[in-house]
């Protein structure tokens, strides 16, 4: 009975593996590689697990995108497998298991997480594993599984703190059960080193969350568009499946906690200004719960059409097209543009660096690209980079994309020497290159340069 989940998970893993080496590094992946060279219990914007994974993968093959993204490939395949297994546990027949597995494999959230190494890589898998374990518990599983839920939650917490909201939502939806609270306490115990690090550094992630809520992230969305973007990121043609799944869960007294948790998280993240993918960990369960009702309610041709019409998600989330033909994709999925053109960016920057100067960039992606591909010392005040190193003395710097008002404050002389040209639409396209003679040693100016976001 488990053949559909195994087959679709295997195909998903193979597709992701074959495509994982196309285009180039995402800016966040360049940052994770840099963070992996500065291992710590925490960073301003994330717990330690993703940088640790980046370091481990680069230790296996230092310049291989395929190896770097292997954890994401395996994570997405495992999510598809778990979705099929959850459908089976919910009573889906063979056809329903096929639908649940294929729908999950075509879900834009799952494909996006499966292609790039990110903090969502472990978070999505961890949250789906937690829902699978809780489903088993609600169906009469051994109560000691709550301890496994806590361990899974703790390890996931070390990649992304959002799992804490998932566990809290489940605990509130199961008020008479001590198990979720035990799991939550174990999660916090495992995640304690990161919380201590954040406390020692004045909780920088809170400031970053406020910046995201204010629209400061490239993937931030207005609160009014949260639900619209959630539907688009899952896949609009999959809406009937997960909507039927949500309705089924809310109507089932035994499983209602999942539906309440999903609705509660949507309301919470709309209020807090979060991103739609924050609720992604519960989506595979919704697809699993809705698969058999979809098969029972709709003609076979309609179900096949839903899945077939969802296949363009491959074009918008994975590097299927030639990089030169991504102009229509980037406005829909900005992450695609973030993986194109970094070697060219580095060549342009290094060609403009005066002899003996260093480079100070406006964001961690630019600094990470220079660290990966360049030979000139690169510095940035952005997030973790702002903690790791400061330019020496009063060294002249070539600045990249930095705010002119900031430069006028910290530099005695500023001269624009060019700008970056990108082959595709990226945040770096048109970034101003300017030399800066600092007014004081960089160590004194650095508090003004450092920024979170």
Distance CA 72, CA 373 (A): 23
pLDDT at 384 over 60: yes
| Cα 392 from Cα 441, distance rounded (Å) | 8
pLDDT category, 61, cuts 50, 70, 90?
Answer: very high
DSSP-derived letter for residue 21 is: T
Confidence of residue 216 (pLDDT cuts 50, 70, 90): low
Distance from the Cα of residue 312 to its chain's centroid: 21
- Could you tell me which residues come within 8 angstroms of residue 221 by beta carbon, excluding any fewer than 6 positions away? 229, 275, 276
237 with 102: CB under 8 angstroms? no
Give, to the nearest 10 degrees, the angle between helix 119-138 and helix 256-272.
150
Find the range with the poorest average confidence among 42-46, 58-62, 271-275, 281-285. Answer: 271-275
pLDDT (tens digit per residue) in 221-249: 889 899 999 999 999 999 999 999 999 99
Q: 0.85 exceeded by the pTM?
A: yes
- What pLDDT score was predicted for residue 1? 54
Q: Assign 93 a pLDDT band (cuts: 50, 70, 90).
A: very high
Number of helical H runs and strand E runs in the chain: 24, 5
The pLDDT-based confidence of 211 (bands split at 50, 70, 90) is: confident
pLDDT at residue 342 greater than cutoff 80: yes
pLDDT computed for residue 218 by the predictor? 63
Q: Which residues pair with 398 in a beta bridge?
A: 359, 435
219 Cβ neighbours under 8 A, 6+ residues apart:
275, 334, 335
Overall average pLDDT of the 349-369 stretch: 96
Residue holding tokens 């992996």? 36
d(CA 50, CA 35): 9
- Least confident range of 32-41, 198-207, 420-429: 420-429
Residue 445: predicted pLDDT: 97
C-alpha distance across the termini of the chain, in Å: 47
Smallest CA-to-CA distance from 378 within 124, 426, 365, 128 is with 365
At residue 133 the predicted structure's pLDDT band, cuts being 50, 70 and 90, is very high
Domain-wise residue ranges, the chain: 3-324, 342-449
Check residue 385 and report its DSSP letter: H
Distance CA(246)–CA(230), nearest Å, equals: 14
pLDDT at 423: 84
Distance between CA 419 and CA 431 in Å, rounded? 5
Q: Which of 176, 151, 177, 153 is nearest to 164 (CA)?
A: 153
């Amino acid at each position: 009975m488990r053949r559909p989940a195994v087959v679709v998970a295997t195909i998903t893993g193979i597709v992701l593996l074959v495509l994982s080496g196309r285009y180039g590094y995402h800016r966040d992946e360049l940052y994770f590689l840099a963070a992996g060279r500065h291992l710590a219990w925490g960073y301003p914007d994330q717990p330690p697990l993703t940088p640790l994974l980046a370091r481990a993968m680069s230790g296996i093959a230092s310049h291989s995108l395929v190896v770097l993204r292997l954890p994401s490939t395996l994570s997405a395949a495992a999510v598809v497998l778990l979705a099929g297994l959850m459908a089976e546990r919910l009573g889906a027949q063979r056809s329903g298991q096929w639908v649940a597995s294929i729908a999950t494999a075509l879900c834009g959230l799952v494909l996006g997480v499966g292609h790039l190494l990110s903090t969502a890589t472990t978070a999505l898998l961890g949250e789906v594993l937690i829902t699978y374990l809780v489903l088993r518990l609600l169906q009469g599983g051994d109560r000691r599984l709550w301890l496994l839920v806590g361990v899974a939650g703790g390890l996931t917490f070390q990649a992304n703190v959002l799992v804490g909201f998932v566990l809290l939502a489940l605990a509130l939806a199961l008020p008479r059960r001590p198990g979720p609270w035990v799991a939550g306490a174990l999660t916090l115990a495992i995640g304690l080193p990161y919380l201590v690090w954040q406390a020692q550094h004045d909780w920088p992630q809170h400031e970053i969350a406020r910046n995201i809520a204010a629209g400061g992230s490239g993937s931030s969305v207005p609160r009014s568009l949260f639900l619209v973007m959630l539907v688009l990121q899952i896949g609009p043609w999959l809406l009937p499946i997960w909507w039927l799944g949500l309705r089924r869960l809310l109507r089932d007294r035994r499983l209602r906690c999942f539906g309440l948790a999903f609705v509660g998280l949507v309301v919470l993240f709309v209020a807090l200004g979060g991103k739609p993918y924050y609720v992604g960990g519960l989506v595979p369960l919704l697809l699993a719960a809705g698969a058999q009702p979809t098969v029972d309610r709709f003609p076979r041709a309609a179900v096949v059409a839903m899945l077939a019409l969802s296949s363009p998600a491959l074009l918008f989330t994975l590097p299927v097209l030639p990089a030169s033909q991504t102009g229509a994709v980037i406005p829909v999925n900005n992450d695609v543009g973030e993986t194109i053109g970094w070697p060219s960016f580095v060549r342009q920057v290094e060609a403009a660096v005066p002899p003996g100067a260093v480079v100070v960039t406006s964001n961690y992606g630019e600094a990470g690209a220079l660290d990966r591909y360049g030979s000139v010392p690169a510095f940035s005040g952005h997030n973790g980079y702002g903690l790791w190193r400061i330019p020496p003395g009063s060294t002249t710097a070539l600045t990249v994309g930095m705010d002119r008002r900031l430069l006028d404050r910290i530099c005695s002389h500023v001269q624009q020497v060019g700008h970056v040209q990108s082959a595709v639409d990226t945040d770096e396209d048109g970034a101003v290159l300017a030399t800066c003679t600092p007014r004081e040693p960089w160590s004194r100016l650095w508090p003004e340069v450092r920024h979170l976001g």
